[in-house]
Amino acid sequence: MIIEPRYRLRVYLLTALVLGGFGVLLGRLYEFQIEKREEFQKDVPGPRQITVREPGVRGIIKDRHGVELARNKRKYEVSFNLQEIHDAYRLQQSDGPVVEVAAWEKGMKRTRKEADILTIVKKRIIPPLQDLGLAKDFNSKALVSHYKTHGGLVPFTYTTDIDYEQFARFAEHSLELPGVYLNVRPQREYPYKALSCHTLGYLRQWAKGDIPEDAYNKFGYQYVGDDVGVAGVEATLDDMLRGVTADNPDGAEGWKTIVKNEKGKIIGELVDAQEPGTGAEVTLTIDAEVQYLLSNVLRRAGVASGVVMDVRTGEILAMASIPDYDPNDYVPSITVAKKKEYDENKLHPMIDRSISAFSPGSTFKIPTALVGAIYGKATNNYNCSGSVRYGSMAVRCWIAKQSGGSHGSLSLPEAIQVSCNPYFMQLAGSLGPTKMNEGFRMLGFGEKTGVPLPGEYPGMIIGNRAWRRKNPNEKAEGVNMGFAAIGQGNSLATPLQLCAMICSVANGGRYYHPRLVKKAVDQRGNVLVEDAPRLKVDLVKEGIKASDIEFIRKGMWKAVNEQRGTAGRVKIPGYEIAAKTGTAQAEMVGSYQRHNSWTMAFGPYEDPRYAVVIFVHDGKSGGKVCGPLVHLVMRGLFSRDEGMKLPLHPLDPVPGKLEAIDEIPLPEDVLAAIDVTQDDGETGDEAADAAAAAGIVPGNPENDQPAVAPSPTITLEADAEGTVAPRKKQEPAKRNR
């Protein structure tokens, strides 16, 4: 049969319409049966299965001896599934309460009606809780905002302020309250409070942006996320602690499938479940007892930091900064009052000063000596006439500033002993800026050490990028070379950088990368971080003679143990210690000149084990202020080596205080035993005239602006709408007689 052309088009159109209709029908069937199956299933009377995500258990953080510095404790939590509460209310009430909200649509302000979830909760949920004596005040605005943002996917945390007995009472009656859930979750705890707080860091609760895109499909009912590290090793090792790997991007999460009836009540037992796993166990190189020792010693100063390292391996045994904070204040969230206290502290307790950069003063004479030794100048003598001239400018020696005298001809050990400025300025001048820059970089200055902590500063050395940004029109020569050699002007270094460098002097020339993580092992026993030192450079292989390193070590020994030495207060009877002090001009406050004071040391001299660096802001003398602090730390370390048990207790945070410190006293019997003959030494002021003439303003350009702490989760206090008034008990009706 042949169809006439005039009918053929009609047949084609009819066929296309039929096929299009089938396509639309199939599309709608796919939408209803596949994409929105869960949504429609919720409206079907009868039991249904739902899947709930459970966060993994965060890995613990230990010190080198197994002392738990960050661990998990049980947290009893009551949460609301607000969508489920709304749905259960509608099953009993045909018309639920609504509120009108303003919204902008196509540039016009309109109002629309939404479910009044706050009224529903207060009518349906709060009264039964009041009858049980378990109602808590809450923030009503937070509840409403949570419902608008998350609906039923993310539970609203009603309270964590309950103990086990209250939790048990909740459990007895929770099945009577659809949408109310009881959970036992791990909560982070820092048992030693402020101890090692800057190293450990803290957490914030997971937020909306942490919810993966597939959460609505995978956990269509309830999603509970993982806390996130935002400071310290909690941040840098966050994935490791949560168990996240390339093969396991979901980390240690668990889940459970439960059955609920049409009224939203849980019926029966679990259908299926996967227990939450545990993140990796991280062992730090930190020794908790040494950390406690260092932290307590630093509390004698107002604003200070310190580092203790094992010279044989580059392991960080302790690292502390004052003022400090308690990371428990951020668990599970920080209160408005406590956050305000930290934010308004002008000394910025969140800053870790052990990895912040400051003017190093005469401590930089040691790396200058090492660079000189690389190029065969360790045996050179230079003459101190009281100053070194650069054109019309003169940079004086501290002895000339004090008494108008000079040191005369000096060898390298003697120059270190008396901390002579002209010796090291002349040595640097003979090297030139290129060799100085390359040598300082070899010793870890001007770049980050790579320690796994956020916010580490690289510091500043002559000629590097930071120095050129600060001094775009300056040449890395002349007076700038002189300032670089003695750690003045724009030179900047961190306590950690100086400690790593002094380790290489103590151990004979091996510069190890500072190590903070000793090892890390996941829950399956896989080693994620191996326990092995990391050698950056062997200075002997770079051209330094072993005898030249001994020359530098001897100079530091003389600074402690011989007359005219600037580090006499570090001395401990019965032990031989080597040290170097430093004092540098810092920022000006009006007409008042602040200073940075330093002392770095290692010991025992013949068989070195420990290196210690201590920095005090606004200490007027490295020898009088930091020297006694190093003395106390070394004394504690040696006493422990002889069998004495060092104390270890929780530490409350200190707010710090910024005031000029002339001296930190040692006991009179100690001073008499060590026979201090040189109290002053360099002050940093001897170069002030030359710095002013050269237009160099001393200070800490990298630290002028305090580091911005990550935004924590803030506890929202209960408001008027969320305040729960106690219900009056019903009086029994009186019987008529």
pTM: 0.85
Q: Output the pLDDT for position 732.
A: 46
User: What range defines the domain where residue 292 resides?
Assistant: 288-703
Q: Output the pLDDT for position 734.
A: 47
Q: Are residues 542 and 424 in the same domain?
A: yes
Q: Are residues 427 and 324 in the same domain?
A: yes
Question: Do residues 192 and 288 touch, judged by C-beta distance below 8 A?
Answer: yes
- Averaged over 299-309, what is the pLDDT? 96
Q: Are residues 516 and 437 in the same domain?
A: yes
Residue 245 is which amino acid?
A: T
Q: Output the pLDDT for position 737.
A: 38
Q: Which of 279, 308, 339 is the last residue of a domain?
A: 279
Q: Is 28 part of a structural domain of the chain?
A: no
367 — pLDDT class (breaks 50, 70, 90): very high
* CATH number assigned to the domain comprising residue 626: 3.40.710.10
Q: Is 408 part of a structural domain of the chain?
A: yes
CA Rg, the chain, in Å?
Answer: 34
Pick left, alpha or beta for residue 485 (phi over 0 → left; psi -120 to 50 → alpha; otherwise beta).
Answer: alpha
Q: In this predicted model, what pLDDT tens digit does every residue of 588-607 receive, in sequence order? A: 666 667 889 999 999 999 99
Q: Is 39 part of a structural domain of the chain?
A: no
Q: Output the pLDDT for position 222.
A: 65
Pick left, alpha or beta for residue 574 (phi over 0 → left; psi -120 to 50 → alpha; otherwise beta).
Answer: left
Kindly state the percentage of the chain with pLDDT values over 70.
Answer: 81
Q: Is 678 part of a structural domain of the chain?
A: yes
Q: Output the pLDDT for position 39.
A: 63
Strands of the sheet containing 254-260, edge to edge, are: 48-54, 254-260, 266-274
Q: In this predicted model, what pLDDT tens digit does every residue of 615-659 receive, in sequence order? A: 999 998 999 999 999 999 999 999 999 999 999 999 999 999 988
Q: In this predicted model, what pLDDT tens digit does every residue of 507-558 receive, in sequence order? A: 999 999 999 999 999 988 999 999 999 999 999 999 899 999 999 999 999 9
Q: Is 722 part of a structural domain of the chain?
A: no
Q: In this predicted model, what pLDDT tens digit does every residue of 413-450 receive, in sequence order? A: 999 999 999 999 999 999 999 999 999 999 999 999 99
Q: In this predicted model, what pLDDT tens digit does every residue of 73-104 receive, in sequence order? A: 988 888 888 888 888 888 777 666 866 665 55
Q: Is 25 part of a structural domain of the chain?
A: no
Q: Output the pLDDT for position 212.
A: 67
Q: Are residues 259 and 322 in the same domain?
A: no
Q: Output the pLDDT for position 358.
A: 94
131 or 189, higher pLDDT: 189
- Between CA 226 and CA 279 the distance in angstroms is 11
Q: Are residues 246 and 372 in the same domain?
A: no
693 — pLDDT class (breaks 50, 70, 90): very low
Q: Are residues 587 and 662 in the same domain?
A: yes
Q: Are residues 469 and 567 in the same domain?
A: yes
Q: Is 441 part of a structural domain of the chain?
A: yes
Q: In this predicted model, what pLDDT tens digit does every residue of 39-82 receive, in sequence order? A: 665 555 566 667 777 778 899 999 999 999 999 998 888 888 88
Q: Are residues 309 and 239 in the same domain?
A: no
* CATH number assigned to the domain comprising residue 232: 3.90.1310.10
Residues 6+ apart with CB under 8 A from 509: 538, 539, 540, 544, 546, 549
pLDDT at 248 exceeding the cut of 90 = no
Q: Which of 279, 302, 337 is the last residue of a domain?
A: 279
Q: Are residues 64 and 118 in the same domain?
A: yes
Domain count, the chain: 2
Q: Is 89 part of a structural domain of the chain?
A: yes
Q: Are residues 264 and 154 in the same domain?
A: yes
Q: Which of 279, 296, 326 is the last residue of a domain?
A: 279
Q: Are residues 379 and 337 in the same domain?
A: yes
Q: Are residues 191 and 262 in the same domain?
A: yes
Output the CA torsion sign for 464, 470, 473, 478: negative
